[in-house]
Structure 1
Amino acid sequence: MSDLLNSEVHNFYPHIYKELEAVVTGQKEESDFGGNMLNIDIGKEETEVYYQMDDESLGAPCFIPTNELYKLVLEWKEMEERMKSGADGFPVTLRDWKLK
């Protein structure tokens, strides 16, 4: 999931959001998206996230309820925007970490 959020959602948010929303709202029965590293097969109930390369060392496919992924993607984008803007209330910033 970290690769999905850090790479695909970060780089392709408008496209992933559009496809997730279409399935969650019933505009589509299913959809898919391929990004830099991962493919996402979006089903009405469940979404499969898997690496584009068929290499077991990269990890097994991940399954997540579609509505939960939709909420997670929205929350991730909101946190990214808050971090970029320097808004108060972002849980952790680089300033919070002190190198020792």
Structure 2
Amino acid sequence: KHGYVTVAVDPRGHSNYGRKFSDANWEQAGKPQTEDLEDLAKYMQQNLGVNGQRIGLTGWSFGGFQTQYTLYTSPDTFAAGIAGAGPTEWENYNSWYSGRTIG
């Protein structure tokens, strides 16, 4: 009605979907999730009539990291992003989390 589409995504690596799903980003944090977000952007353009020049991302914590990573590695796919509290220096981040996330 107002020209907005909002989508909440749980890309690969998110917990509570089984071990294979949650381990998808092992030692490659951000990469599989970016592939999922790129696929979603393509799907929305091809099937939902979404303007590809107007797709943005937002996230908090790991989602903030994911937003930064995706905008950096896929700059032509997304027009903008808002990243909140995303870790950028994994070596100094909470060891129990980063050890489980990136190995």
TM > 0.5: no
Higher relative contact order (CA closer than 8 Å, sequence separation 6+): 2
Q: Which has the higher strand share?
A: 1
TM band (smaller chain): under 0.3
